[in-house]
Every structure is written in C-alpha cells, then in structure tokens.
Structure 1
C-alpha cells in the first residue's frame, strides 16, 4: 500500500471520532423506524391471525394470554420510545460551546445512545417472544367441552350432550355420540331435570 493511501486512511480514522455520534443517531433512527413498523405488523398479525375471542380459552390460560400480550405491548412501546430517545437526544438539552465540554458531552452521549440501542433491541426481542408465547397459548389451549356437558331428563327420555341454549320454549343440546353435527332440540315444557355432567 502506498504512503498516500496510508495517510488517507489515517485521516479517515481521525475524522471518524467526530462523526461517530451522527452515525449512531442514524442507526438508532433506522432501528426506531424498523421497530415501530414491526410492532405494528405484529399487532396486526396477532389481531387477525390469533383467536378472535380470548374469552373462549379455559380460565387460567385466558389470564396467561392476556398478561403475555399486555407485557409484550408494553415492552414494544418502551423499546420504541428508547429508540426515539437515542435518535433525537434528550429534549431541551443545552448546547456546549466549549471544545472540552463538547468533547465530554459527545463521548457521554455516544455511550448513552449505544446503551439505548441495546435496550431497544432487548425490549423488541423479549416483546416478540411474549407475543409468540401468547399466540401459542391461544392456538394450543382449547375449550374444555366437558364444561358445558349436561344430562337432561325429559318426558321423552334421557339425553346427554353439550348445552347450546336454554330458552323458555326450547332446550338445545349437541350430542356427543351419534350424529354430533345435528343439534337435539327439546321442548322446555317436557324437560324435568337438567344436571351438569362430566361425561356422556
């Protein structure tokens, strides 16, 4: 390598210390934009692709899924705010006119921006993991069909199945044996007794 090329590399290395903060700010701004975009995408996917109604989850899993989604949302918002702080600095911060004070502030700010970027990335990673866990819970935990099973004694016979509806006119059951797709409708006037069942 020629002496001229060596000198040029030395000059670039010296100039780099003065542009380091600007480069970090640009990285933080790019990360902030990506984080906000991915947060919106994850939110849309969770709403559109997840279970439509978390209330259909069994009781403990419903609470778990809501806590996971709430924690993920808070982490993603916190990560976005940290990235915004790294991109634009602290609002209302005074400018440093002296060379030494400017140098000290710049070095401190470089350290803060780096820490903010790492925190933002960590919050995003953990938030994504929590969203994935919540989706896993909502997709793998199903309703307990035995929770709605009842035994019905009526004037026409005894029946067992999943209780679909109970009105002043009719009692509708979904049988668990035989043709399970066709509801069984009984007149309420013919029903003598309805009791919960654990199995049919």
Structure 2
C-alpha cells in the first residue's frame, strides 16, 4: 500500500484516521471513499460494527443473521452496501479491484433470499460519512486522515473490525508501522 496525501483522494482510496483523532465517529476508523467530486465526498466506515443485524432492518431478509456496520454519522436511516467479486447487480459502481458499491436493491434481496451471494463477500452499512466540497481535502491537509490508494479486499472484508485500522497501517510500512502501535490514550502508556 502506498500513501500520498498530496493527491486528491479518489473513489476507492482508503482514509485512515490519524491515531489521536478524538471525533467519536471516526476514532481509529478506516473509511472507503466511494465518491469524491465537485459536490463533496461520500464514504463508508469499514470497521465500526453496529448492534443491528440485517434481518432486523429488512423484513424480506429476517432470516439473515448478517452484521451491519455504521457507515458514518450522516443519515443513519439509510442502508448502503459494498461487495467483492464480479459485478452481479445492475447500477453497482466499481470502487476497487472487484469491489463494488451499491446496486439494484431488489436484485440484491432476491439473490440473498436464494443464497446466491456469499455473505463473506458483502458488507452492509447504516448511514455514511460525508464531506462538503473541499472539506475532505482540508481535513487531509490538516493531517486528520492518512490516504491509501490500496483497496485490498483481503484486509477490507477479511479483518476483524477491531484490527483493521492497525493492520492497514502496519502493511503500509515505514512510519505507519509505528503509528499502528500508538495507544489510544498515550498518557496511559
């Protein structure tokens, strides 16, 4: 993985919160940037598990015991998803190598009901992370976020939410390996 906070963050980049960020919505967060354009940016926090299950949110999927993550503090009454593999839904947007964001929800429900989707290759989110025009770039300049252009799905979907932040930083190497070991509160070190 390589980091470059001097370039504009693009769809598919990961935003890794700096170790001492105190915003409770983003402490030790890894955000998948799904869209960044002249209107602002949209992303999903990959490592903040909610207390809800998908079957509790969607009546047609009440049989599913699938985790739901908190995508961010904005519009937590909305449901979003990403999946890995071939494009299997109309209107899905490519955000990485075989990584897709959203798509036709009716098709999704049908495929889930027929067990045509591997639940290890899909992740659901309530809410999202959003930035107004230029806001994300300002936060990057202020070093709130470390930007990585790698969306290795082995880490994104295969790591525990508690370890994802640390794993990604360690795999970035160099100074980021040191950051990965910073305690949340250095005064307790």
TM-score for both structures, normalised by structure 2:
0.20
Q: Which has the higher strand share?
A: 2
- What is the TM-score with the length of structure 1 in the denominator? 0.20
